[in-house]
Amino acid sequence: MQFRNLQRQYQVLKSQIDAGVSDVLASARFISGPQVKELEKALAEYVGVKHCITCANGTDALSIALRAWGVGKGDAVFVPDFTFFSTGECPADEGAAPVFVDVDPHTYNMDPVKLEQAVKRTIAEGKYRARAVIAVDLFGLPADYGAIQAICKKYGLLLLEDAAQGFGGSIGGKRACSFGDIAATSFFPAKPLGCFGDGGAIFTDNDDWADRIRSICVHGKDIGKPNDPNAKYNNVRIGKNSRLDTLQAAILLPKLEAFQSYELDQINTAASWYSEALKDTGLTLPMVPHGYYSSWAQYTIRLPENADRSKIQGELKKKDIPTMVYYAKPMHLQKAFSGTDSAAADCPVTSEICNTVLSLPLDPYISKEDVGYVAENIKTLLCQEEI
């Protein structure tokens, strides 16, 4: 069994994907071909936001958004302690100080109460200017945007939505990537909507920010004169080289169709099979609050605190069941932040979660038999005393 079987999806979509790739190869428009624009339009429409700007990967998407706002030295950026490294790495890379905020023990997303405490503390200490929040839609579940947006408004903070794992999720029908002042997503192959390499996108309703983002993606080019062929070599700010390849756009176009029309439904069904099979086991199962819809980047359970997680993983591996630990270490304990103010965070919920989480095999094409097989093996192991 594979943790996320990407070959199965390719088999289903092969004829459309191969045709799209052939078209790009024949046209030789490998950079900024028409498929890129077409994809940006389709993504913006799906999300319900005015602008979508694709870029090289999800990490760049976060950094470019922060740079468009001028977030940097002297600024504090509030990020969850329980997330993938990029969420803290990007503000640090722009020169800002990430302030790690503990998460909710049920949703694993940023805890708005802890966020407000951290904002107040930062303002009182006066060392950094409280500037922005990066909320993460972890494992496919949108963060608590009602509460987080209210805090951002109250303290004048910019909200960046890290929807690298959240694309396709929604709250009350409003889609992920539409909650932040700017939102970022990733098309890394294993994300809910993945391409066949690295890719990312940035979303916003704000025209000025969208212009600045487009400029930063191409070396800070002057985008004020769209009809001037030489404007490309007129650089008005320090940018990056961060574009989505035309090939990846051509691959994503049919994948977005499948994602919308049935993959999201299928992965929600598969997640419900796990939840049904594992109820009454005493394990903590993923929680989707009322009105929320998850795109299930991961199906993550929590083992009993006294369980030997590595041993369970080893036993499951013997039964051909791969599992992953997302994430084993709180952000503030990463060596990269040691010796900085960011390392001083106090996040007891994250510390506990890191010790007990276990993510199970899942993708839109997994069979009910495979889910049942995984669940039965976990149940058997939990009954064995030495585990």
Ligand X SMILES: *Cc1c(COP(=O)(O)O)cnc(C)c1O
- State which of residues 63, 109, 165, 359 lies at the interface with ligand X (CB under 6 A): 165
Q: Which of 52, 164, 247, 278 binds ligand X (CB under 6 A)?
A: 164
Q: To the nearest whole angstrom, how small is the minimum distance from the Cβ of residue 314 to ligand X?
A: 26
84 near ligand X, rule: CB under 6 A: yes
Q: How far apart are CA 353 and CA 330, in angstroms?
A: 9
Is the Cβ–Cβ distance between 193 and 212 less than 8 Å? no
Minimum distance from residue 62 beta carbon to ligand X (Å):
6
Enumerate residues 85-114 that contact ligand X by CB under 6 A: 86-87
Q: Residue 15 CB, nearest distance to ligand X (Å)?
A: 27
Closest CB to ligand X among 354 and 381? 354
Taking the complex as a whole, the smallest distance from the CB of residue 100 to ligand X amounts, in Å, to 14
Residue 54 is a binding residue for ligand X (CB under 6 A): no
Number of residues that bind ligand X (CB under 6 A): 15
Residue 168 contacts ligand X per CB under 6 A:
no
Q: Which is nearer to ligand X, 46 or 84 (CB)?
A: 84
Q: Are 108 and 284 in contact (CB under 8 A)?
A: no
Q: Which secondary structure element, helix H or strand E, spans residue 255, and what is its range?
A: helix 246-258
Distance separating alpha carbons of residues 188 and 195, to the nearest angstrom: 6
DSSP state string for 24-56: HHHHT--BS-HHHHHHHHHHHHHHT-SEEEEES
Q: Is 162 in the site for ligand X (CB under 6 A)?
A: yes
58 is a contact residue toward ligand X (CB under 6 A): yes
Q: Could you please report the per-residue DSSP string of 321-360? A: ---B-TTSS-GGGSGGGTTSGGGG---HHHHHHHHHEEEE
CA distances from 376 to 272, 313, 316, 373, 379 (A): 15, 14, 11, 5, 5
186 lines the binding site for ligand X (CB under 6 A) = yes
Binding site for ligand X (CB under 6 A): 57-59, 83-84, 86-87, 136, 162, 164-165, 186, 188, 198, 200
